[in-house]
Amino acid sequence: MELLIKTVRGEVEALTDYDCTVREAENEKSLDVTVTKTARNDHAFEMIENENVFVCDGDEYVIKKTIPTTANDTIKISASAIYKPLIDLADHYVYSKSGKKKKMTIEDMVAIALEGSGYSYAVSPEGLTTTFELEDFGDGFSNDLLRDILDKYKAEYTISGKKVVIAKELGRDTDYQIRHKFNSRDEQAEVDTSSLKTYIRGFGKQNDKTKAYAVELEYTSPLAEIYGIKHAAPIRDDSYTSANADELELRLQEELTDTIELSLTLTYTELKHFGVQDIRKGDYVWCMIDPFGINKRIKVVGVERYSDPNKSPVYTFGKLKRDSKTLIKGFRRTEKRVSKLFDATGKVKGASIGAGLRIGSDANFDDGYDPTTIPKYGPATAVSDGLMTSGDYQKLQSIVVGPDGKPQVDMASATKAGLMSATDFIKISKINVNTSGSIIDISSLANNLASLVMRVEALEAAKGE
């Protein structure tokens, strides 16, 4: 990544000795930079200040936070910066409003949201033709108004230069595949039930006199069978009457968060020689992560890229919604298995663990351990196994124990082993000891004999002369 620093006065310098990370998420884009002051970047280092701009690969990021620190007799700065177009739209306030209640298209709303901001727009009409009846739309920050529009249409936007591009979906439909142990690692799945709701009510137009509602409906998720009733905030909308009650019913089902969501994050190793590269935020790719049972086409909703060429990018994928029918099917299958183990009072059925066996309430058994299969052994004999083998039984029988309880061993002889082998007994018996019983150092005999041989040989040699 090429990194420049630009001041609010327009001065531009190149930076060196840095490490940076670009993060992209839904409606967010930021840059984190760490720069160590060196002789090579001394001229540009002092320009790293709040509200100045980093230019990374052509995109501008406004510095919003700086943290200078000392390290190894030099200075290091960590800085966080936000994509400049997002800052521009967050700082621009639109004071005008649309006026009396009327039907508005997405183009009508976007024109108000960007009024006076210096940004133009382009809307891809496919899937965005619905009109909304609004009153006094406007009077807010451009960024907030845009997000309100996107929420209404479930749409996406991106910013290219000074133009805001809006479409139902902006990502590419690729045939890239991300496979466990092939081109991905460090996979992490997160299961989230924090927003799980199973029940919602909806109210249409209310009669001013009777206070009765023209239509009043409720919807209970099938997941309530497992997790119970969890209320969602009700929908109250005067646009619903008895004539379009079916639309309210559909909206209740759409807005109730009755799914368990799973999000996936992984480190992706680009394999250019396989043609697998250039995955961008918004793209659809095939994820095949066997350990998590994932084999689906999923949308990339977040990307982290690094200036370090040895670090692979990290991708975050859109939430996978677990099908409620599959969850209930699995729940009932488990419930059926458990019902075979317990009776109506919650006690373990005797038939499930073996007739005649009683187990206390505090008993715990490891998986695969069956207390009904404990083997029973009889005593061993010299010819049959039991609590020990017959061979070990014979060895134990040959042990003689004295009155003191210690094993006794016979003395050795020339024909019988004992405290030593019979062979060693014969060798020792050949050693003669004088009657006085004086101590003889056997280790010195060889040296003494060698000395005597040398003397005899010397005397014989002298005699021959």
Domain ranges for the chain, please list them: 3-86, 93-167, 173-192+260-325, 199-255, 375-405
**Would the CA dihedral through 435, 441, 446, 450 be positive or negative?**
negative
Of the candidates 182, 178, 188, the residue with the CA atom closest to the CA atom of residue 292: 188
Q: Who contacts 23 (Cβ-Cβ below 8 Å, separation ≥6)?
A: 29, 30, 31, 32, 302, 303, 304
Give 260's pLDDT tier (boundaries 50, 70, 90): confident
pLDDT of residue 329: 55
pTM: 0.59
Q: Please tell me whether residue 3 adopts helix, strand or coil conformation.
A: strand
Please give the backbone phi and psi of residue 194, each rounded to the nearest 5 degrees, phi first: -65, -25
pLDDT of residue 452: 82
Q: How far is CA 162 from the centre of its chain?
A: 38
CA dist 215 and 241 (Å) reads: 6
pLDDT of residue 324: 52
Of the candidates 442, 423, 446, 421, the residue with the CA atom closest to the CA atom of residue 433: 442
| Euclidean distance between the first and the last CA atom of the chain, given in angstroms as a whole number | 103
pLDDT of residue 442: 67
Which one has a higher pLDDT value, 261 or 382?
A: 382
Tell me the average pLDDT of the chain: 83
Which one has a higher pLDDT value, 278 or 94?
A: 94
Strand partners, 302: 316
Matching fold, domains 93-167 and 173-192+260-325:
no
Tell me the fold of 173-192+260-325: Phage tail proteins - horseshoe like beta roll fold (2.30.300)
Please give the backbone phi and psi of residue 192, each rounded to the nearest 5 degrees, phi first: -125, 125
In this structure, whether the domain defined by 93-167 belongs to CATH 3.55.50.40 is answered with: yes
Of the candidates 262, 261, 271, 263, the residue with the CA atom closest to the CA atom of residue 184: 271
Strand partners, 158: 165
Of the candidates 131, 137, 111, 134, the residue with the CA atom closest to the CA atom of residue 122: 111
Span 38-69, pLDDT tens digits: 999 988 999 999 999 999 999 999 999 999 99
CA dist 259 and 328 (Å) reads: 12
CA dist 465 and 462 (Å) reads: 5
Q: Please give the C-alpha separations between residue 366 and each of 363, 369, 370, in angstroms, as whole numbers.
A: 10, 6, 9
Instruction: Answer whether 182's CB lies under 8 Å from 215's CB.
Output: no
pLDDT of residue 277: 62
